Amino acid sequence: MSPDPIHSSLAGSAERRQAAWPWLLLPLIVLALFFALRTVKQAPPHHATHAENPAESASSEAAGSR
C-alpha cells in the first residue's frame, strides 16, 4: 500500500522552517501603534485650546474689573 499523498505533504511541511518576518514585523507594528496612540493622547486638542483661551481671558478680565 502506498503512503497517502496528503499525509506525506503534511510531514514535509512540518519539517520546513517557518518564516521569521512575521515575528519581526508584528512587534514593530505594535510598538508603532503604541507610540502613535500615546502621542495622540498627550497632545492637547487644537479646537479645545482655541475655544477655551478667550473664555478664560474674558472671565479673568471680568474678575479683575470688579
- CA–CA distance, 23 with 29 (Å, rounded to integer): 11
pLDDT on residue 61:
57
pLDDT tier for residue 1 given thresholds of 50, 70 and 90: low
pLDDT on residue 16:
86
pTM higher than the cut 0.75: no
Does 7 fall in a domain?
no
Count: domains in the chain:
1
Residue range(s) defining the domain that contains residue 46:
20-65
Three-class secondary structure assignment of the chain: CCCCHHHHHHHHHHHCCCCCHHHHHHHHHHHHHHHHHHHHHHCCCHHHHHHHHHHHHHHHHHHHHC
Query: pLDDT of 9-66, one tens digit each?
Result: 555 556 788 888 889 999 999 999 999 999 999 988 776 555 555 555 555 555 665 5
Does 8 fall in a domain?
no
Does 13 fall in a domain?
no
